[in-house]
Amino acid sequence: MKRDSALRKFFGSKIFSLLIVIVVLMVIFTVVSEGRMIHPLNIRNIINNMVILSFLSVGAGMLVLFGYIDLSSGIIGSFAGCVLAFFITQFGFPAGVAYIIAIISGIALGFLNAVMVNELHFQPFIATLVTSSVFQGFGYMLVSSQGIRVQNSPLINWIGDTKFLNGLLPVTIIISLSFILIYGIILGKTRFGRSIYLCGGNRNAAYLSGLYPKRISYILFMNSGFLAAISGCIYLCRVKTSYAVAISSYQFTGITAAILGGISFGGGSGSILGCFLGMLILAVFNTGVSTIGFDYNYTIIFNGVLLVFGLSLDSISARQKAKRVIKQSLSEPL
């Protein structure tokens, strides 16, 4: 009986719907590409396309769960890549030391975002939009518009170029999937993860129950900066060149993946698994479009349409939830 109930719950869940979308996209692109879509190298490309996006999406997703949004993580990641390249090429720092400095810089910029929101009382949307412009300027000060190329760094080359299983499994994919697993456990199985859900659902009630939403918001903004910095550094390891806007185009794609995966824009509901499936949908589509030779502009349009679609579903879900709560409250005796 419990098993049947669990199956019905799964088949009616957002996770099942996302899996159906992934299967449908794979079938369509496999047929249109005459089987090229399911070639092992293409499957690697699908997962590989998620690497940079995954860090931004998880960081943004956890903030959205809390009820905030970070529009600067793409620029923070780009800046961290600039810091990494700058300290290696200009000061001759070992890549490992430069990596640590770059990660710390990302955390520091996330902390500045938290100060803007918590101490200066800016709306997160406005605060991070403003700081993204400032952080982008910092990046241009380090690397100019031409960027900096990093060559002959064993650590950079190892992270960016190493592949296992005869070239089918890049080390960056292992790093990305490891982080997704760790954050999935943190969000779903720890007290801190439950605190994020509670604060996102009702911040005042969470405070009255003994939680400290302000402290949690500081952690989440710094975590977003931390993950963005890792993303920017991995991007540098791949292309061997840093730019002030290197991964800025991934910013809204990360938010799209999180919302498409079921993380409520109003906070309080969603999961890392859903976020992962949202990223997978985008990666499958982007790889499929490339495989069949369509114009890249189709992916930009598709990402925008998906963001609108995800926000629409979130809005409908929120209204239905509010109606259920009102109906339940009216049906209860005084």
Q: If 0-12 CB within 10 Å is exposed, 13-18 middle and 19+ buried, where does residue 11 land? A: exposed
pLDDT at residue 99, rounded to an integer: 94
∠ CA(7), CA(11), CA(17), 5° rounding? 155
Distance between CA atoms of residues 249 and 120, nearest Å = 28
Is residue 217, in this structure, part of any structural domain at all?
yes
- What CATH number is associated with residue 51? 1.10.3470
What sign has the CA pseudo-torsion 287, 177, 254, 143? negative
Is residue 4, in this structure, part of any structural domain at all?
no
Is residue 2, in this structure, part of any structural domain at all?
no
Is residue 15, in this structure, part of any structural domain at all?
no
For 268, the domain range is 25-311
Pairing mode of beta strands 148-149, 241-242: antiparallel
Distance between CA atoms of residues 244 and 157, nearest Å = 21
Tens of pLDDT, residues 146-178: 888 888 888 999 998 888 888 778 899 999 999
- Does the reported pTM lie above 0.85? yes
Radius of gyration for the alpha carbons in the chain, expressed in angstroms and rounded: 21
Q: Is the confidence at residue 327, as pLDDT, over 70? A: no
Tens of pLDDT, residues 107-145: 999 999 999 999 999 999 899 999 999 999 988 988 887
pLDDT band at 79 (very low <50, low <70, confident <90, very high): very high
Distance between CA atoms of residues 312 and 325, nearest Å = 20
Is residue 32, in this structure, part of any structural domain at all?
yes
Q: Flag the least confident range among 56-65, 227-236, 244-253.
A: 244-253
Is residue 106, in this structure, part of any structural domain at all?
yes
pLDDT band at 201 (very low <50, low <70, confident <90, very high): confident
DSSP one-letter code for 13: S
Residues in the chain: 334
Q: Is the confidence at residue 81, as pLDDT, over 90? A: yes
Tens of pLDDT, residues 87-111: 998 888 999 999 999 999 999 999 9
Give the chain's domain count.
1
pLDDT at residue 181, rounded to an integer: 93
Question: 48 φ, ψ to 5°?
Answer: -65, -35
Q: Are 307 and 252 in contact (CB under 8 A)?
A: yes
Could you tell me what percent of the chain has a pLDDT over 70?
87
Question: 155 φ, ψ to 5°?
Answer: -65, -45
Q: Is the confidence at residue 30, as pLDDT, over 80? A: yes
What sign has the CA pseudo-torsion 28, 30, 31, 33? positive
Distance between CA atoms of residues 132 and 147, nearest Å = 18
Is residue 284, in this structure, part of any structural domain at all?
yes
pLDDT at residue 285, rounded to an integer: 83
Is residue 187, in this structure, part of any structural domain at all?
yes
